[in-house]
Chains A and B, each alone.
Chain A
Amino acid sequence: NAGVTQTPKFQVLKTGQSMTLQCAQDMNHEYMSWYRQDPGMGLRLIHYSVGAGITDQGEVPNGYNVSRSTTEDFPLRLLSAAPSQTSVYFCASSYSRIAGGHYGYTFGSGTRLTVV
């Protein structure tokens, strides 16, 4: 019963480098999303997907790309890393966006990213 698995747990990037944060869930959830957590800011939505092949922007999408080729996987790509993207990133999933709002999302354990 893995739930939501995020890799890597820690990453240090140099400014301008690109990388992909991986997220996989084994609960057959249709809805998946990426959040970033910054001190004093709470969790802010970056991108979300309501099913395979369907993605949309959240509150802070700039500098990030996503795709959803399968129900299980929802990778987050940083195109050209900037120090402002230093944060803790969480992937979350739910049966649906509305269900997640009422019954809660399942979150991964996070990826701590530092951009120097």
Chain B
Amino acid sequence: DQQVKQNSPSLSVQEGRISILNCDYTNSMFDYFLWYKKYPAEGPTFLISISSIKDKNEDGRFTVFLNKSAKHLSLHIVPSQPGDSAVYFCAAGYGNKLVFGAGTILRVKS
């Protein structure tokens, strides 16, 4: 039972355009959400988070949107840069429980 789903295994975007990565969850108990970025042969690095009391959080080029009624989370990267090419994991949690999605490979073409 995958409680956190990233339905797009990969996404390809032109440099300078917007990248939108999506994540759906099923457990209404989740009250915080995070995005991680992972380069090959490295561990995931924390990117941005949002709590369930907010619907948007922004950090530079990265914005996370939360739609609680739809149980949907998205990460917007504007403008996309070739260095953003990586695997992006979304994660959702409550209390001591944190569940990761399977990841989306983002390729930014120059």
Given A101-B93, A102-B32, A104-B36, A43 contacting B4 (CB threshold 8 A): no
Bound together, the chains give a CA A42 to CA B103 distance in angstroms of 6
Assess whether A104 is in contact with B49, with CB atoms less than 8 Å apart: yes
Assess whether A42 is in contact with B100, with CB atoms less than 8 Å apart: yes
A4 in the interface, Cβ–Cβ < 8 Å?
yes
Assess whether A97 is in contact with B96, with CB atoms less than 8 Å apart: yes
B98 interface neighbour in A101, A103, A110, Cβ under 8 Å:
A101
B48 nearest CB neighbor, chain A only: A104
A12 in the interface, Cβ–Cβ < 8 Å?
no
A34 in the interface, Cβ–Cβ < 8 Å?
no
B20 in the interface, Cβ–Cβ < 8 Å?
no
A26-47: CB near B (< 8 Å → 1, else 0) gives 0000000001000011111100
A109: B residues at CB distance < 8 A = 41-43
- Determine the main DSSP class of B at the interface with A: strand
Tell me the count of chain B residues lying within 8 A, CB to CB, of chain A. Answer: 25
Assess whether A40 is in contact with B102, with CB atoms less than 8 Å apart: yes
A108 in the interface, Cβ–Cβ < 8 Å?
yes
Assess whether A42 is in contact with B51, with CB atoms less than 8 Å apart: no
Given A42-B101, A43-B89, A45-B98, A104 contacting B43 (CB threshold 8 A): no
B2-39: CB near A (< 8 Å → 1, else 0) gives 00101000000000000000000000000010101000
Min CB distance B30 to A, Å, is 10
A56-74: CB near B (< 8 Å → 1, else 0) gives 0000000000000000000
**Residues of chain B from 80 to 99 with CB closer than 8 A to chain A in the complex:** 89, 91, 93, 95-96, 98-99
A78-101: CB near B (< 8 Å → 1, else 0) gives 000000000000101000011011
Bound together, the chains give a CA A44 to CA B101 distance in angstroms of 9
B49 nearest CB neighbor, chain A only: A102
Assess whether A104 is in contact with B89, with CB atoms less than 8 Å apart: no
B96: A residues at CB distance < 8 A = 97-98
A positions within 8 Å CB-CB of B: 4, 35, 40-45, 90, 92, 97-98, 100-110
Can you list 9 A-B pairs, Cβ within 8 angstroms, ordered by A?
A40-B102, A42-B89, A42-B100, A42-B102, A43-B91, A100-B98, A102-B49, A103-B46, A108-B43
